[in-house]
Chains A and B, each alone.
Chain A
């Protein structure tokens, strides 16, 4: 059986899924820290319509997904600027899904293909798709690398970025485009409904496990890779949809992350640095030492276990 799983027939699947995981894990980190989960839900749903439309007119699925991901991302970025972003996102989502249902009803043989577009069909990936996938992934990662510090700054607080001459709305637009690119990659593999879980599950755990931003991105990518690898193997042997395993693993990562967080806490926040003399070298001798009760409070706060673990 193992020979089947690692046969040359499956090479494209492994490579494709790994590329998808790297992009989704990296973009997903920013989805989670920016609180953009709803946009990361809506863009794949909109992209599903692109896939359905592509099937209807008989063009490449990736092209249809890409165009509609781009449309959904730019629409959310543009119309969400001076309005309630969640409402705008929801309207774009339902508008595109409505169109998608029309495309599906006009298409003749939709059930099998629809199912794979919604829940993922990795075993159908051929090596012919690898080139466009790799190119989109490279563009997506290049975008994240280029915008990394601005993404971090606007994720912490948009006003801080604005004060340094970084326009938070432009950063948001580039970010949503990177979500669109990751969606384009991931949708044909894990399905429209579960692109979201690949972009949320791994990073949601990573931010608990790592405390440095760069480390959290790395953990997120690593967990996303493990997710797709385990899901492919499990789907291969069980015959169950890949999306099932991706979705379940997403939740498992989150729960594990919280467990790790509760165990380790953020307890090493202060500790030995208390003795660091220049911690109060403000030049103001009258300033009382800040380390005492305030630091203790932070420690208690950090140690307080999150809700679900007890």
Chain B
């Protein structure tokens, strides 16, 4: 074990020793440095820095309005930045990032099947109609099966349940073989079972595809068993590092700029900021987390 990396507000390393990462030291896929975003005259993100490595599953934690969507859009290049850099390893084109947006409301009457949406993930940015080919079809089916949704291939996407749509959208995002997958609140509006299925699917993808995954959520509990590291947003600033090193009273107090209690109750953690009680908890047993999350 390498020595734990000190977590600072400014410059936390996302993970130097994520549990059960692929052997060796994978290169950082994403380096965010000093990112500052101003929206409507307000600094929504201030000097946010973190790294993400191949094969890592990172949680982007923050309450509503904390700037999660803004951060993901900035990484995607859809949001202009006031300062800072977002560096993606290797070549950057429309295929290097996969994105599942926060609210995709799909029209139930849209004549687009799951396989059509995934095929659009393969080459939807290109001109022309994209003639039917068996290799394209096989690739779409392979992608659907990698998210456990092959049985939904011929269903209209808009008629699927929230959890099923999530899977198809993940397959769409994976279609361009991205090095980094960004998901914005994929667990919102899912029931407990779909939540667990989605999280373990994402954890499986980090291993099977070697992709780095950044998942935003306002509740880290479902992510805990699988998450290698965390980027915690509050007041526009970020603390990042291994979960146990970030979700701590001292670190979060510094982040929030006021006293924060991290309470352990019934296997969850309640983060209590000032008068406000917010449950964005974490079981503070990182090593247990790690072992649970990464079965041999």
Contact = CB atoms under 8 A, between A and B. Distances in A.
Contacts of B113: 211-212
A148 B129 contact: yes
A295 B167 CA distance: 12
A33 interface: yes
B149 interface: yes
Interface string B18-51: 0000000000000000000000000000000000
Interface in A268-303: 268-270, 273-274, 276, 278-291, 293-295, 297-298, 301-302
Contact of A149 (B97, B126, B197): B126
Contacts of B145: 276, 278-279, 281
B127 A286 contact: no
A41 interface: no
A281 B112 CA distance: 24
Interface in B86-114: 93-95, 97-99, 101, 104-113
Given A212-B111, A273-B153, A287 B204 contact: yes
B128 A145 contact: yes
Interface string A76-114: 000000000000000000000000000000000000000
B203 interface: yes
Nearest to B127: A146
Contacts of A268: 154
A124 interface: no
Given A206-B111, A269-B154, A287 B120 contact: no
Nearest to B110: A33
Given A157-B101, A159-B101, A161-B124, A212 B116 contact: yes
A282 B146 CA distance: 5
Interface in A186-220: 206-208, 210-216
B99 A163 contact: yes
Contact of A162 (B78, B153, B159, B204): B78
B5 interface: no
A274 to B, nearest CB: 6
B130 A148 contact: yes
A206 B110 CA distance: 10
B146 A281 contact: yes
B161 interface: yes
Nearest to A287: B200
B120 A153 contact: yes
Contacts of B189: none
A216 B163 contact: no
B290 interface: no
B231 interface: no
Interface string B154-171: 111101110110010100
B286 interface: no
Nearest to B160: A298
A293 B193 CA distance: 10
Given A287-B197, A298-B161, A153 B124 contact: yes
Given A156-B112, A160-B172, A212-B116, A149 B128 contact: yes
Chain A binding surface, main DSSP class = helix
B187 interface: no
A166 B125 contact: yes
Nearest to A292: B193
B294 to A, nearest CB: 11
A210 B99 contact: no
B201 to A, nearest CB: 6
A287 B201 contact: yes
A298 B108 CA distance: 11
B8 interface: no
A166 to B, nearest CB: 5
A149 B125 contact: yes
Given A149-B120, A298-B155, A284 B111 contact: no
A301 B152 CA distance: 14
Interface in A147-194: 147-150, 152-153, 155-157, 159-166
A149 B124 contact: yes
B132 to A, nearest CB: 8
17 contacts: A147-B127, A148-B128, A150-B124, A156-B104, A157-B104, A160-B169, A164-B95, A210-B111, A212-B111, A269-B154, A270-B151, A273-B150, A282-B208, A285-B295, A294-B194, A298-B155, A298-B159
Interface of B: 76, 78, 93-95, 97-99, 101, 104-113, 116-117, 120, 123-130, 145-157, 159-161, 163-164, 167, 169, 172-173, 176, 193-194, 196-197, 200-201, 203-205, 207-208, 295
Given A163-B173, A302-B156, 18 more contacts: A33-B111, A153-B120, A153-B125, A164-B94, A164-B124, A166-B124, A208-B109, A266-B159, A273-B153, A276-B151, A280-B148, A284-B200, A284-B203, A287-B148, A288-B193, A294-B161, A301-B108, A302-B159
